[in-house]
Chain A
Amino acid sequence: MKAVKQWKQHILAGGVALAILGLGAPAFAADTVKIAEVVELTGPGATAGTNFKNGADLAIKEINAAGGILGRQIVTTSADTQTNPGIAKGLAQKAIDDDAFAVFGPVFSGSIMVSMATTEAAKVPNFIGGEAAAITEKGNPYVFRTSLTQADAMPKVARYLDGRKDINSIAVIFVNNDFGKGGRDAIIEALKSTHVKVVADVSTSTGQVDFSSAVLKAKQSNADAIFAYLNEEESARLLRELKKQGWDKPVIGETTLTGQKVIDLAGPAAEGAIAHVGLTVDAPLPGLKKFSTDFQKAYGYVSDHNGIKGYTAAYILKAAIEKAGKFDRELVAKTLHGIHISAKDHPGVLMDVSIDDKGDLDRESFLVQVVDGRQKVTEILPPLGRK
């Protein structure tokens, strides 16, 4: 009698377990593919991370509405790194444990340097928003950029400065994190072959609120111009301080300096700032114009370059999966190396783009100046591959 009772209990327990498994399993059935967004939604990287996430979400919504990737709908999870590399690493591991097919983010280079080892170990393609040159110099075959690397962007800035005969000396103001240090090293190296001399090298910190001493130091150097390379909010604070201290010489930067969020935060202080940007919604290209309109309609504000990074990341992944023909992470990563995606065949990538064997990408870029609170493209620069 006792044995029968135990047998019944086992049957009951087994039934419950099967029911739980049966109910749980269909949530991520074979008709979906998961993308995990591991981005900076709070902390100093909130502006960059939020834009990146919103851009990716917009693209994923469009892809799903058009039938998904190879018939599968994309499901996303979103997690906040708090701009903390340690948390970013933990969240990357969680994304892998949750069986994400690809990880999008982080955007801050310091977080990427820590988290990308986790996605590499799990062989999960990782689309990142960082620009520090060191990221793709570590031989990680699963990390893919969504913007130009500093090593490619800074020579373009140096070439522009070399053409400005009114600028013979420059003060470099940079943020002392992986992103800023990488940019500072790259621009100083690139300027060595030009007539422009670096006369001040001013370090600032992430999240810094008071830039009065940094500006004072730049002014004391009597430089003809400032090269500013900081994250978004710090760029805005620097521009406000420069305006406050009456700086009337050129302020030149790369990408972040003239981002739309920086322009909004700095207000009139951003007027006249010049930058080389890899991506801008103000570029005279139909794809980018459409993206800009759709993004503004969806989120109520103008996207910065990080929004474009997130958006194009989803379409680059889609193009690679379609080219690979199946949902195989290793095969997709291999396909991405050396891929060329044309905007004609894949309008979502917005501009023709090539990815090399290190995960760096190449495409056209722009020289812009802030005029009346918007970026005005003054020159379109060809991809480095075309020269």
Chain B
Amino acid sequence: MATGAIYALAALGFTLLWQASGTINFATGEFVMLPAFSMLAFQALGLPLLASFALTLVVATAVLGYGFKRAIVDPMRKYGVMPLVVATIGLALIMRSGVQLSFGAQALPFQNIFGYEVFSFAGVNVSAGDLGTLAVTLVVVLGLQAFLQRTVTGRAMQAVAQNTESAEVLGIRVNRMIFYTFAINAMLATLAALLVTPLYLAKFDMGITLGLKAFLAAIIGGFNNSRGALLGGVIIGVSENLLGAYVSSAYKDGAALALFMLVILFKPNGLLGAPTERKV
């Protein structure tokens, strides 16, 4: 479940950006990788992990939130989804190469914020890392849901996601709401980096697998539903581990793809996704 929770955090970024701006960000994995190296850089300057995380949240919001929106999404959006998809694939390559040049190609260790303590509940061993990851993800997803549904800003963001033109007529500052979505996405990626890097190790290509799994999780759960991302992530994480443990770990990576195919065949909008109409 902890594995799935990490997929869910990254998948949440996919669904948020899609809902707010029609952007499919294929650099999602790299959006997790870059904050990991940012935290390492701050730690190399002598800062503790938590302070590095806090500073990285600010940097990520500026670079992966504002910078990404202004430099890539805003100029490309008018050309439709596909050019933007290609642009984010290109961005992913640039980010990987940049980190490889700056930090080298070898993996680097990353501190585990929750430590290595293992607790035993009714004969089942659970690590502090797994508990922490699950708890943090749950709090973040529930908090995000509450923010989107119970605050004026959150509702305005949803209004923009549902119908940009109507939202503009109602006086909502559309551009600002879209930026908020990008900022939230950047912060979620930073949080995912904090949770996943101790196990994945910090490496320039660490985002490739994560990005793919998050994309599949978002589709399985429903691309236009944030709770769907959580569900999709957990389903993939749990089925991967069940398949790996009870059948063979050789098939583990196929679990997400098999689920993806089943969902596309029988429930194309995803498990929690709603059908959307398209203007022609």
Q: Interface of A with B (CB < 8 Å)?
A: 41-43, 46-47, 50, 176, 202-205, 207, 209-210, 212-214, 216-217, 220, 233, 236-237, 240-241, 243-246, 261, 264-269
Chain B stretch 214-248: residues in CB contact (< 8 A) with chain A: 240-245, 248
Please tell me if the beta carbons of B127 and A213 are within 8 angstroms of each other in the complex. no
Q: Tell me which of B205, B245, B250 contacts A220 (CB under 8 A).
A: B245
Task: Check B206–A214 contact: CB distance below 8 A.
Answer: no
Q: Does B198 contact A (CB under 8 A)?
A: yes
- The reply to whether the CB of B42 lies closer than 8 angstroms to some CB of chain A is no
Kindly list chain B residues whose C-beta atoms are within 8 Å of the C-beta of A237: 199-201
User: A237 CA to B244 CA in the complex, in Å?
Assistant: 16
Query: Is B129 part of the binding interface, using a Cβ–Cβ cutoff of 8 Å?
Result: yes
Knowing A50-B106, A233-B107, the reply to whether A203 touches B206 (Cβ < 8 A) is no
A-B contacts, CB under 8 A, total: 91
Contact of B106 among A47, A176, A214, A266 (CB under 8 A): A47
Q: Across the interface, do A236 and B106 meet the contact criterion of CB distance under 8 Å?
A: no
- Which residues of the other chain, B, contact A268 by a CB distance below 8 angstroms? 116
B69 at the A interface (CB under 8 A) = no
Select which of B105, B112, B116, B206 is within 8 A of A42 by beta carbon.
B105
Contact present for B116 and A209 (CB under 8 Å):
no
A345 to B145, CA, bound (A): 73
Which residues in window 66-124 of B have CB below 8 A to A? 100, 104-109, 112, 116, 118, 120
**Are A217 and B116 interface neighbours, CB within 8 A?**
no
The distance in angstroms between the C-alpha atoms of A244 and B116, with both chains bound, is: 6
Q: How long is the Cα–Cα vector from A202 to B246 in the complex, in angstroms?
A: 11
B209 in the interface (beta carbon within 8 A): yes
Inside 8 A of A210's CB, which chain B residues have their CB?
3, 199-200, 209, 240, 252
Query: Is A246 in contact with B125, judged by CB distance below 8 angstroms?
Result: yes
Query: Which residues of A sit under 8 angstroms from B198, Cβ to Cβ?
Result: 240
Q: List residues of chain A with CB within 8 A of the CB of B210.
A: 209
Query: Could you list 15 A-B pairs, sorted by A, with CB under 8 Å?
Result: A41-B105, A42-B105, A47-B107, A203-B249, A205-B253, A210-B200, A216-B244, A216-B245, A233-B201, A233-B203, A237-B200, A237-B201, A240-B112, A246-B120, A246-B125
Give min CB distance, B72 to chain A, whole Å.
Answer: 25
Smallest CB-CB A-B distances: 6 pairs: A213-B244, A246-B118, A216-B245, A46-B105, A246-B125, A42-B105
In whole angstroms, what is the CA distance A50 to B241 when docked? Answer: 33
Tell me the minimal C-beta distance from B118 to chain A in angstroms: 4
- Complex CA–CA separation, A236 to B127 (angstroms): 18
User: Within the assembled complex, what's the spacing in Å between the Cα atoms of A5 and B125?
Assistant: 92
Residue of B nearest to A241 (CB): B199
Most A C-beta atoms less than 10 A away, residue of B100, B104, B109: B109
Contacts of B125 in A (CB 8 A): 245-246
Task: Report which of A42, A209, A246, A261 forms a contact with B127, defined as CB distance below 8 A.
Answer: A246
